[in-house]
Amino acid sequence: MQEHKSIQEMWVNYINFIGEDIIGTDKKYTSWHFCDNEKGANDLSELVKNGIKRATTGLYYFYEIEGETLPKAGDLSIITDWQSIAQCVIETQKVNLMPFNEVTEEFAKIEGEGDKSLKFWREVHISAFNRQLEEIKVEFSDEMLVVCEEFEMVYK
């Protein structure tokens, strides 16, 4: 699938913004949206643009089975809405791998969703992880490892 033209435009604008030349830069990026549904993806990209959402969580299990590299500090990503239209650029600040049941209230707050409580965070993530795992007939456990990524919005 070809990426939306707004992604490349945002990348060029970001590189110019930081004072680099698009031809000479060695910076790389990924582009993606949050969530597995349109409303969630669009709402969460707005929270990022408004500086409210500064973290995200994914199941380590999927990184493993898909052979995906874990994010690391310094990684750049273009966050899109559900239609793959570029919304902003984020830079990963910190990544922690831990069991789901060890995620803290502090981390739930910087994810910036709902009432920002750990209770809300757990409910939303258990629901999302169950939907993802159901497709491959794997059962969620609160001892499963999660990738907790903290980021900063660096351009919009």
Domain span holding position 44: 5-155
The answer to whether residue 3 scores a pLDDT higher than 90 is no
pLDDT value at position 129?
96
Both tokens of 19, joined, read 């004072």
Q: What is the DSSP string of 62-107?
A: HHHHHTPPPP-TT-EEEEE-TT--EEEEEEEEEEEEEEGGG--HHH
Using one digit for the tens of pLDDT, what is the confidence trace for 70-112? 999 999 999 999 999 999 999 999 999 999 999 999 999 999 9
Mean pLDDT (whole number) for 50-65: 97
The answer to whether residue 1 scores a pLDDT higher than 70 is no
**Range list of β-strands (E), the chain:** 30-32, 55-59, 76-80, 86-99, 145-155
The answer to whether residue 122 scores a pLDDT higher than 70 is yes
- Rounded to whole angstroms, the Cα distance separating 100 from 72 reads 19
Residue 28: CATH number of its domain: 3.10.400.10
Number of domains within the chain: 1
- Reported pTM: 0.93
Whole-number percent of the chain with pLDDT over 90? 94
pLDDT value at position 39?
95
Tell me how long the chain is. 156
Both tokens of 44, joined, read 């969460």
